[in-house]
Structure 1
Amino acid sequence: SGVENGSRMADRWRWSRQQVFTMVAMSSVNFSSMICYSILAPFFPSEARRKGVSQTIIGLIFGWYALCVLLVSLLLGKYIVQIGAKFMIISGIFVSAVCTMLFGLLDRTSSGMPFILLCFLVRSVNAVGFAAAVTSSFAILAKVFPNNIATVMGCVEVFTGLGLILGPPLGGWLYQSFGFEIPFIALGCLLFAMVPFNIYESESSFLRLCSCVRILLICFALFTLSSGLGFLDATLALFAVDKFSMSSGSVGLLMMGLSLPYGAASPVFGFFSDKFPHLRRWMMVTGGMITAMGFCLLGPVPVLHVTSHLWLTVLMLVLIGFSLCLTGIPSFAEMLVSAHELGLPENLSTLGLVSGLFSAVWSAGMFFGPVVGGYVAQQVNFQSASGVQGGITFIAVSIIYAIYHL
């Protein structure tokens, strides 16, 4: 009856104390992790260039972090039951916090190869901690909120977006006011938090998970999204400085055009993803198309013969922020549904596999974007590299549309 349906809906959205605590804890993990990750973008490319580092190597430094997260996420997702989600979060946050503060001391090293090698070393270890915290947080959320995971993921992404919003302007301001070290030391302290949880054992297989064509297509779409973010991390600051003569602090504010709409729209798209699951594919395709258009006009691409303006750059960043959210938020829930349809059990082991694969694919794009995009930007220009990124995204969503709707 209607009364019974209403009662079931009310129970679905009534959270227990454990669920509230989980939500607060996981939101804190994602917020602190992302604010420490995003402080690099406004000023590190310029600082590295003063240390004699080329734009290609700068892109590699950004991308290397993501490559390490990719490899570690797959491993941790497979063994989350054996390692323990509680231990993974606590140890991951601690390692990431220490490495964030150590990175702030790298300006004291010699220019050239010593600086480059230490950047790679510290970023590698930091990536291990980040992967442990994020992979286990996704699995815990899916375990504690089995009936409305997309909505919960959307709410948590608000804090992810908030970290991305505050990181660049705060990092740029701290850098301009206090120098290279203080941003990392101050924000690294935010990562010292403890998240206690118990979990249960069971087994599944990555190979079985990856045998699903739908999951592979979603992974391809996620790859293109994260590669776009990684590309912007490594190249947007230098483009803004060279094209619009912006300071590091202003670049940080510019990047809010991307992260602010992402954080604001995440809970809305998460709610609609849970409320109307049949629309998830259309959300992903529509978001991907808008993302592709945004990257092509961000430069803009030379073949369009459109003059570059600051207002156009800001507008495209806002569109990309919304569209990334529109595609990314339904993806995790759709991957879980596909895994269950494949016959994988509804337990923490499967959740660990899906969250590990999600993190790994996202990190693969975050490696590809700054490395390849940084190289193309150095060899040609930012405008063309941005167009290439938009083209990759267009190909991904076109394949998804062709497979699901033709």
Structure 2
Amino acid sequence: GDDSLGTAREAPRQLSREQFFTLISAASINLGSSMCYSILGPFFPKEAEKKGASNTVIGMIFGCYALFNLLASLAFGKYLVHIGAKFMFVAGMFVSGGVTVLFGVLDKVPEGPIFIALCFLVRVADAISFAAAITASFSILVKAFPNNVATVLGSLEIFSGLGLVLGPPLGGFLYQSFGYEVPFIFLGCMVLLMVPLNMYILPNYEADPGEHSFWKLITLPKVALIAFVINSLSAGLGFLDPTLSLFVLEKFNLPAGYVGLVFLGLALCYAISSPLFGLLSDKMPHLRKWLLVFGSLITAGCYMLLGPVPVLHIKSQLWLLVLVLVVNGVSAGMSIIPTFPEILSCAYENGFEEGLSTLGLVSGLFGATWSVGAFLGPILGGFLYEKIGFEWAAAIQGLLPLTSGLAMGLYYLLEHSRKRRPISQDILGTEEERTALLPNE
């Protein structure tokens, strides 16, 4: 009896073949897409300036990725079941690898409007393909691991963080050694090589279309506030893409190859902390709300110190900048990881059916809300950087997570008070009944 009980306890810990292959596929898209996205940071703004693009236009090139990722995520989330999760995943990865290679030949086109237009075109195609792959990936993962959503998503953020860690320094090194084309061609070919592997190993899930819509999901007050938290966090990270490398180059006179290392603290700490916060979210779901709130508030403080904001009268130093990015990486993991299971649990509590259709809606909504912030962040960042400088721009950016964290905290306090009120009313009602039934006592 003890042996069989021990086997039953150990069984859930064993990964099935299907789950193992799902993890490999999701890890491959997280790693490849993160590297392709982050490789632009150290050297693309400088190259775009040579081609006649202003800082505002550079911010728009970064930001348009998020805008079309937003639109595509909503569409792919809605029609995931109709298209097929596996086909959407593989096709998205194939197109993403191809357009990354195309990005590497843009330095051959004439400067000015033609260069800028082609940058937008290639970036849009990459955004749509990535939205397809990541929406399908999230849905397949949650389908394969329904009881460990935060743990699995947090663990896979190791590969996202690894891609963000490796992308800037690898891109900077290849750019310094071989020129503009090689970083994109190398990474694009690496993503394309993953396509046949995923065609073979990725499981195929079938499901029926659901009855619910994005509108019903996003109009739930709790989901809307969580979406605002996601927006504020992604806007902050997007803000750093077009601005941080230029600030470091101007302020500390570092070569392009070393600029990528500045991004290392943020990405590495995010990758390390995400699995821990994911495990904590699954083991103690009641802590998710406070991880969301305090993570947002800490992130707001980081942006105030990133410059730092002039009113603090703190001298800008490289070690302080790296330290703030390290703390920001931890606070980002603290806030981001609990959002997906919080939205999913809220959807189930409000009558959404459990299945791939709802997972597609939640995955698409998560990708879309993340993209809203990632669209606004670079554009606002590029504009403010030109007008008021990096120090004040970063401080203004920090107001978003500050507002979302306070709003989320207020909602949870009100929710807690509403849950306690019926209990106290029941106790009061019972005492009144006893008084009425037993007047002589």
Whether these two folds match at TM > 0.5 is yes
Matched AA of 2:17: R
**1:202-241 matches, cutoff 5 A:** 202-203=209-210, 204-241=212-249
Matched AA of 1:85: A
Contact kept? 1:85, 1:197, Cα under 8 Å: no
> Residue 432 of structure 2 corresponds to which residue in structure 1?
none
Quote the Cα distance in structure 1 between the aligned partners of 2:372 and 2:215.
18
Q: Does 1:315 align with 2:311?
A: no
> Residue 158 of structure 2 corresponds to which residue in structure 1?
158
**1:103-118 matches, cutoff 5 A:** 103-118=103-118
Quote the Cα distance in structure 1 between the aligned partners of 2:120 and 2:264.
27
> Residue 296 of structure 2 corresponds to which residue in structure 1?
288
Quote the Cα distance in structure 1 between the aligned partners of 2:411 and 2:154.
26
Deviation, structure 1 residue 3: 10
Deviation, structure 1 residue 198: 1.6
> Residue 306 of structure 1 corresponds to which residue in structure 2?
314
> Residue 242 of structure 1 corresponds to which residue in structure 2?
250
Q: Does 1:143 align with 2:169?
A: no
Contact kept? 1:171, 1:183, Cα under 8 Å: yes
Q: Does 1:88 align with 2:88?
A: yes
Task: State TM-score, norm by structure 2.
Answer: 0.90
> Residue 37 of structure 1 corresponds to which residue in structure 2?
37
CA separation of 1:6 and 1:339: change in aligned 2, threshold 3 A = farther
> Residue 437 of structure 2 corresponds to which residue in structure 1?
none
Q: Secondary structure at the match of 2:300?
A: helix
Q: Secondary structure at the match of 2:338?
A: helix
Q: Secondary structure at the match of 2:65?
A: helix
Deviation, structure 1 residue 365: 0.6
Matched AA of 2:203: F
Quote the Cα distance in structure 1 between the aligned partners of 2:125 and 2:9.
44
CA separation of 1:210 and 1:61: change in aligned 2, threshold 3 A = same
Task: State TM-score, norm by structure 1.
Answer: 0.97
> Residue 377 of structure 1 corresponds to which residue in structure 2?
385
> Residue 189 of structure 1 corresponds to which residue in structure 2?
189
Q: Does 1:47 align with 2:51?
A: no
- Cα deviation code 1:205-259 (max 9, x no counterpart): 1111112111111110000010011100111000000011111111101100110
Q: Percent identity?
A: 52
Contact kept? 1:202, 1:347, Cα under 8 Å: no
Quote the Cα distance in structure 1 between the aligned partners of 2:7 and 2:151.
19
Equivalent of residue 386 in structure 1, options 378, 390, 394: 394
CA separation of 1:109 and 1:348: change in aligned 2, threshold 3 A = same
> Residue 431 of structure 2 corresponds to which residue in structure 1?
none
Provide structure 2 residue ranges, at least 5 long, that are not aligned to the other structure: 415-441
Quote the Cα distance in structure 1 between the aligned partners of 2:107 and 2:8.
57
Larger radius of gyration: 2
Equivalent of residue 256 in structure 1, options 264, 274, 277: 264
- Cα deviation code 1:142-180 (max 9, x no counterpart): 000001010000111100110000000000000000000
- Cα deviation code 1:99-126 (max 9, x no counterpart): 0000010001111111111000000111
Contact kept? 1:104, 1:182, Cα under 8 Å: yes
**1:68-79 matches, cutoff 5 A:** 68-79=68-79
> Residue 198 of structure 1 corresponds to which residue in structure 2?
204
Deviation, structure 1 residue 301: 0.9
Matched AA of 1:18: E
Quote the Cα distance in structure 1 between the aligned partners of 2:6 and 2:209.
34
> Residue 180 of structure 1 corresponds to which residue in structure 2?
180
Matched AA of 1:207: W
Matched AA of 1:201: D
Matched AA of 2:82: Q
> Residue 428 of structure 2 corresponds to which residue in structure 1?
none
> Residue 348 of structure 2 corresponds to which residue in structure 1?
340
CA separation of 1:9 and 1:68: change in aligned 2, threshold 3 A = farther
Deviation, structure 1 residue 394: 0.1
Quote the Cα distance in structure 1 between the aligned partners of 2:3 and 2:53.
66
Quote the Cα distance in structure 2 between the aligned partners of 1:214 and 1:54.
39
Matched AA of 2:32: S
Deviation, structure 1 residue 10: 3.6
Quote the Cα distance in structure 2 between the aligned partners of 1:8 and 1:60.
54
> Residue 18 of structure 2 corresponds to which residue in structure 1?
18
> Residue 368 of structure 1 corresponds to which residue in structure 2?
376
Contact kept? 2:21, 2:203, Cα under 8 Å: no
CA separation of 1:28 and 1:259: change in aligned 2, threshold 3 A = same
Contact kept? 1:48, 1:58, Cα under 8 Å: yes
